[in-house]
Structure 1
Amino acid sequence: MIVSHSLPEQALLRPYAQSGAYTDCYLMTLPGPVHLAHFVEAFYSSSVFKFERTLLGLALGKKASDQDAAALGRSQVSQFSAWQVEERTDTQLLLRFGDTRSWFMVETAADTSRLYFGSAVLPRKVDVEGKGVFSAGFHLLSGFHHRYSQALLRSALKRLPKVQNA
């Protein structure tokens, strides 16, 4: 089950939340160990994301393959399609593309893994209270963004066993 969740204290995405950016976070708890490399590869090689990958390849000339997704997960590359690695630890990956950020984190215990995925959108400006100011278009697309994020995660979860057993 995918649930909306607050950002963990150690999240690489947290500084954006504190600086007025829009941030979100989703959590899935799965049985058994899951490695960050497998989560990232499953996400970026999922059937739902392949559609986005194709669009970015056509629109921006930034093609990427399943092999590129695996290389990103294994820390072998610092760019994947239009995304650049901004920061990486053993359990987290933060990517940037323009004014957006994508974040992955894995917490593994003896018999379960907590998989986190989140996004940040940087505001064009911040008001006097430190809150980001976003366009009407941003607000109109926010509902789609939430549904799309969850669809991406469901698709990644279906792909995860194939990636882990490869």
Structure 2
Amino acid sequence: MVVVVNQGIPPGRLIADYAEREGHFTDCFSCVVPGKVALADYVTAFYTTPLFRAERLVLRLAARAPSTDAQARALAEGASDQFAIWQVEARRGNELMMAERSGRTKSWFKVLAQGSSTQLLFGTVVVPVRSKSGDLVLGPVFDSLKGAHTFYARALLAAAARKLRA
């Protein structure tokens, strides 16, 4: 069984810059898997799980953004900076920040060695927009889907961890 926990945003990481900005939504989930896991293997596992393949199918149909497992691996290994609707925003050591086309949502991945295990971290950033009144808002769609987002983010991380353990 994979135990996914909600974790505070780790300081000094790519996602931390967004957590400190006014109006931005950030979250971070983590789990621990046995063995040494490289970032490339984690990212590949994440984007090639059956759960994420379902999202890729929706993106292919709705956003005309086809993607393959080979493209996921190329992204993970640094041979490509694009995957479906995402573009690499930053790579640093054992972490990766991806931004979707609009730049409003981002996905963050990190691996941390812990003795004979590896901690997998996955986070999300939602960038606010200015309302007509000038306030920073995430928008009613995101506000209404925040619970579903949390459930889905945890499920994606757990699926990647299970795939790495198999």
Work out whether the TM-score is over 0.5.
yes
CA distance in 2 between partners of 1:47 and 1:73 (Å): 17
Are residue 2 (structure 1) and residue 7 (structure 2) matched? Answer: no
CA distance in 1 between partners of 2:36 and 2:98 (Å): 23
CA distance in 1 between partners of 2:16 and 2:93 (Å): 17
Q: How many residues align?
A: 158
Q: State the TM-score, normalized to the length of structure 2.
A: 0.90
SS of residue paired to 1:95: strand
Stretches of 4+ aligned residues off by more than 4 angstroms: none
For structure 2, list consecutive stretches of 5 or more residues without a partner in the other structure.
Answer: none
Letter in 1 for 2:162: K
Match of 1:148 in 2: 152
1:70 CA displacement: 0.9
RMSD (CA atoms): 1.5
Match of 1:135 in 2: 139
Deviations 1:51-108 (A, max 9, x none): 1101111112211111111111111100000000000022000000120000000111
Are residue 58 (structure 1) and residue 72 (structure 2) matched? Answer: no
Letter in 1 for 2:138: F
CA distance in 2 between partners of 1:24 and 1:134 (Å): 14
Q: State the TM-score, normalized to the length of structure 1.
A: 0.90
CA distance in 2 between partners of 1:120 and 1:132 (Å): 14
- Report the identity percentage: 35
CA distance in 1 between partners of 2:156 and 2:34 (Å): 20
Deviations 1:138-160 (A, max 9, x none): 21100000001111112112221
1:50 CA displacement: 0.4
Residue correspondence of structure 1 range 16-165 to structure 2 within 5 A:
16-20=18-22, 21-97=24-100, 98=102, 99-125=104-130, 132-161=136-165
For structure 1, list consecutive stretches of 5 or more residues without a partner in the other structure.
Answer: none
Deviations 1:114-145 (A, max 9, x none): 1100000000139xxxx942222221100000
